[in-house]
A and B are shown apart, each in its own frame.
Chain A
């Protein structure tokens, strides 16, 4: 056992040297971890505050940090379809399936991501919508394409039009060189479910450290009651809606009766 100790020590030391010497750590706090969709919900803005702190008292902080916040919503599968003119009318002729892609994707940074790090680092860390893995079903394979692929650009464009995909080089503001805030905008049509927030700190084009947070979008009150009734008790819900229709129709005929 004692003879093995130097060996183990050597492994541990090598491992420590290989890992980035994270002298800084991130401390973040989200303004609200639970977004409730009520009847007057019309989108919500959240604020993520954070600081860059030295891990121990000896570390000296740098001055040129870059920060990227990536928020991803619950995953779903979408088909992107393309129309073409066939016999004078516009018909969907081609489609690609985007498998398990985020229903919401926001990339917020203090300056455009392309200026923060070289392309290979961005690709490896999936920073920016162009570098985010959006797997498509192509034949029997699942693969992401180049960002210029027509289906991929169309998909990102359509999602961006609804405010569900967004990339902003001004989404993160440094209040002091080490204190920052990020504004997360959830549109009115935001999907419900669990959201992950990943915060990545860069300096001189390299990843320094990262941390995460999470938030949840849920229906509350009346909205929750209706949505759950529709999902869990479909038949009773349908019956109740049909009865409501009959009642409305009957009331109208009574109120407006003229004979």
Chain B
């Protein structure tokens, strides 16, 4: 069934978009991530203008992370204080990202920048996840404990000043790495049109040693606030949020997420992390392929302005 999208200015097949929402929702529910890094490229692939895709996916991620955040809230598995600290820096990061976005767009290098950041981030993060979970798997085979986390172990990050205590997460860390992580997530979120959950979760675990119990819930609160405000910002500045597209994606997304979460809970954490690592890594390779292989058409068009 074809439906004409009022802002993207093109007809799409509702069932195709709904199916994409369900599929990405399934993955996001399974791994506790927003799934923007999958959804944005998929929408661009079916012909949605990239700017509309980025702006509309923001509200789709807001919906799925809110539904996730509520259930983590009920389980008391989120750290509000930590989320607020991350947010305060995240907003500055988003503003910086939006500023750079505009400059790169005017220089015709935005596609390249987005492509390169996808490749770098996805292959590095994916590679780290695969490495980590394969090692854990090997250790379990040898009969050693699977977890890498050693409570009480300190890195140089713990020597930094402005220490703060986050009670829910039971950590005592400097505010500097917390702000740095918040800034980075906000920045790449604005540039790449993603929530950044798949980067935030490993960062919180590896650098701040946030326990797995609170990490996903906290990451979801951060994603929710940045994506909801990104929706409003995109609507005010570019008028590019397609509410109809967003609604179809949301409905598919929240349904898929429920089934994904059930599947995810049946699997072991290490196995789950290996799968996510493989997924992230292969999406990264896909982007690398796109940059290296000669495109079908060397020329492309970009609208400068209507008269």
Q: Which residues of A line the B interface, CB within 8 A?
A: 37-42, 74-85, 88-92, 95, 97, 100, 103, 151, 154-155, 157-159, 188-189, 191-192, 219, 222-224, 226-227, 230-231, 234-235, 237-242, 244-246, 248-253, 256-257, 259
Question: What residues on B are CB-neighbors of A188 within 8 Å?
Answer: 4, 10-11
Partner of B302, one of A42, A81, A85, A230: A81
* Contact A249–B63 (Cβ < 8 Å): yes
Other A-B pairs beyond A234-B235, A239-B235, 16, CB < 8 Å: A42-B2, A76-B307, A80-B300, A81-B299, A84-B298, A92-B108, A154-B297, A157-B297, A189-B10, A191-B306, A238-B241, A242-B229, A244-B250, A248-B247, A248-B250, A256-B254
Question: What residues on B are CB-neighbors of A259 within 8 Å?
Answer: 74
Show 14 A/B contacts (Cβ-Cβ < 8 Å), sorted by A: A78-B302, A79-B304, A80-B300, A90-B293, A155-B299, A159-B301, A234-B236, A235-B236, A237-B235, A238-B232, A242-B231, A245-B62, A250-B66, A250-B70
* Contact B11–A80 (Cβ < 8 Å): no
Q: What's the minimum C-beta distance from B210 to chain A, rounded to whole angstroms?
A: 23
Within 8 A of A (CB), among B259-307: 291-295, 297-307
Partner of B4, one of A40, A81, A248: A40
Docked complex Cα distance between A21 and B272 (Å): 82
Q: What's the minimum C-beta distance from A12 to chain B, rounded to whole angstroms?
A: 39
Q: Does B258 contact A (CB under 8 A)?
A: yes
Question: What residues on A are CB-neighbors of B303 within 8 Å?
Answer: 76-78
Q: Does B234 contact A (CB under 8 A)?
A: yes
Question: What residues on B are CB-neighbors of A238 within 8 Å?
Answer: 231-236, 241
Docked complex Cα distance between A253 and B4 (Å): 29
Number of residues of chain B lying within 8 A (CB) of chain A: 64
Question: What residues on A are CB-neighbors of B307 within 8 Å?
Answer: 74-77, 100
Question: What residues on B are CB-neighbors of A226 within 8 Å?
Answer: 6-7, 243-244
Q: Given A246-B228, A248-B254, are A240 and B70 neighbors across the interface (CB < 8 Å)?
A: no
Docked complex Cα distance between A240 and B67 (Å): 17
Q: What's the minimum C-beta distance from B307 to chain A, rounded to whole angstroms?
A: 4
Partner of A78, one of B60, B297, B298, B301: B301
The 8 A-B residue pairs whose C-beta atoms are closest, nearest first, are A238-B235, A249-B66, A252-B254, A154-B299, A238-B232, A249-B67, A226-B6, A245-B63
Of the listed residues B4, B69, B258, the one surrounded by the most CB atoms of chain A closer than 10 A to its CB is B4
Question: What residues on A are CB-neighbors of B9 within 8 Å?
Answer: 189, 191-192
* Contact B246–A241 (Cβ < 8 Å): yes
Q: Does B65 contact A (CB under 8 A)?
A: yes
With both beta carbons as reference points, the residue of chain B lying nearest to A78 in the complex is identified as B301
* Contact A256–B108 (Cβ < 8 Å): no
Q: Does B175 contact A (CB under 8 A)?
A: no
Docked complex Cα distance between A235 and B238 (Å): 11
Within 8 A of A (CB), among B106-129: 108-109, 111-112, 116
* Contact B255–A252 (Cβ < 8 Å): yes
